[in-house]
Amino acid sequence: MTAHLSTGSLFVVATPIGNLGDLGARALETLARVDLIACEDTRTSRTLLARHTISTRTVALHQHNERAASAALLALLRTGKDIAIVTDAGTPGLSDPGAWLVAAAHAAGIRVVPVPGPSAATAALSASGFVAGPWLFAGFLPASASARRKALDGFDLPWPIVFFEAPHRIRATVDALAARFGDDRELLIARELTKKFEELVRLPLAEAGAWLDADPHRSRGEFVLVLGPRTQTREPDAEGRRVLDMLLDALPTLAARDAAKLAARITGAPRNALYAHALERAGRRRAPRSAPDSDDA
């Protein structure tokens, strides 16, 4: 849909994730000249704006009112008003409010203009040293242990994965990562990025919990975790395959996933590789036999 010439523009403005000096010149110019700034928390944004003597009017746009507030903002955009959207830190729409309003603006034919800048995800990834062709931004994991385990089952990928985490869940999340991905990966823990007590450490995933426990201050602040890619491809050893085959032969109704999990616990072989072996075995059993040669008929 083509935007009408009389409509305003919606500027998606990234703001500092800690150090207020990271706000770029283009972001400053945009925030100073728009007609209105939609903020995740107006009090937080006013501190930033006051530092740069910007007096643009602000309104609240947070996770609890985004859909309702978006209607009024779209109406203003249609009258030709320019609006900027910001969050408390980083880029709107990335584990922060903003995506709903941006999508609605696109649907209404309103021009959307990104003003890129600070991002906790890319900052941590750039400082991780993990070679990143493809990489995945996963945001926050679910709070409950069962939902977190289920979510991690979908992240067995051969490239870096970036997570956000809160201080009260950091230990549980590190434990869940270690339980799910074992000892063949490394983890970057980035704490309080760009702030006074910034701390980054890259270490084997299996050692991450002990690192947090070594100093109570290490579990404070805001966290970005970068899970490194697999360092090696592991195949199930002969004992793991043998036990898996025994389980499937003795218990034909046992699901392949459950059999692989049990065989992994018994032998220590990688569960994913055992599961792949179980699926391959099931495929062989289901494959139709070839028609006999005429000489053998």
User: For residues 180 and 166, what is the distance between their CA atoms, to the nearest angstrom?
Assistant: 20
Containing H/E element for 164? strand 161-165
Average pLDDT over residues 93-116: 94
- Smallest CA-to-CA distance from 9 within 85, 71, 100, 81 is with 81
Q: Where are the alpha helices (DSSP H) in 154-270?
A: 170-181, 208-213, 238-250, 256-267
- Reported as a single tens digit per residue, the pLDDT across 184-229 is 799 999 999 999 999 999 999 999 999 999 999 999 999 999 999 8
CA–CA distance, 61 with 64 (Å, rounded to integer): 8
Residue 85 main-chain phi, psi, to 5 deg = -115, 130
pLDDT value at 115 more than 50: yes
Residue 112: what pLDDT? 97
257 token code pair: 């996933």
Q: Does the pLDDT at position 294 exceed 90?
A: no
pLDDT of residue 242: 86
Please tell me the predicted confidence (pLDDT) of residue 6.
73
Query: Burial, 90: exposed, middle or buried (Cβ in 10 Å; 0-12, 13-18, 19+)?
Result: buried
- Laid out side by side, the sheet with 9-13 consists of 58-60, 36-39, 83-86, 9-13, 111-115
Read off the pLDDT of residues 242-256 as tens digits, 9 standing for 90 and up. Answer: 888 888 888 888 898
Segment 2-19 shows an average pLDDT of 84
Q: Report phi then psi at 156, rounded to 5.
A: -85, 75
pLDDT value of residue 110: 96
**Interval 257-282 mean pLDDT:** 86
Mean pLDDT of 258-283: 85
Residue 173 has a pLDDT of 97
- In this prediction, residue 2 has a pLDDT band, given cuts at 50, 70 and 90, of very low
Question: What is the rounded CA–CA span in Å between residue 195 and residue 19?
Answer: 6
pLDDT at res. 285: 63
- The answer to whether 164 touches 190, Cβ cutoff 8 Å, is no
Q: What is the overall mean pLDDT for the chain?
A: 89
Q: Is the per-residue pLDDT at 46 higher than 70?
A: yes
Return the SS3 of 62: coil
Q: How confident is the model at residue 236, as a pLDDT?
A: 52
Residues 168-174: what's their mean pLDDT? 96
Strands 161-165 and 199-204: unpaired
Nearest to 192 by CA among 94, 139, 124: 124
Query: Quick one: pLDDT band at residue 132, thresholds 50, 70, 90?
Result: low
In the prediction, which pLDDT does 272 show? Answer: 85
Q: What is the pLDDT of residue 232?
A: 53
Apex 55 CA angle, 49 and 58, nearest 5:
80
In 3D space, the residue among 267, 227, 217, 229 whose CA is nearest the CA of residue 247 turns out to be: 267
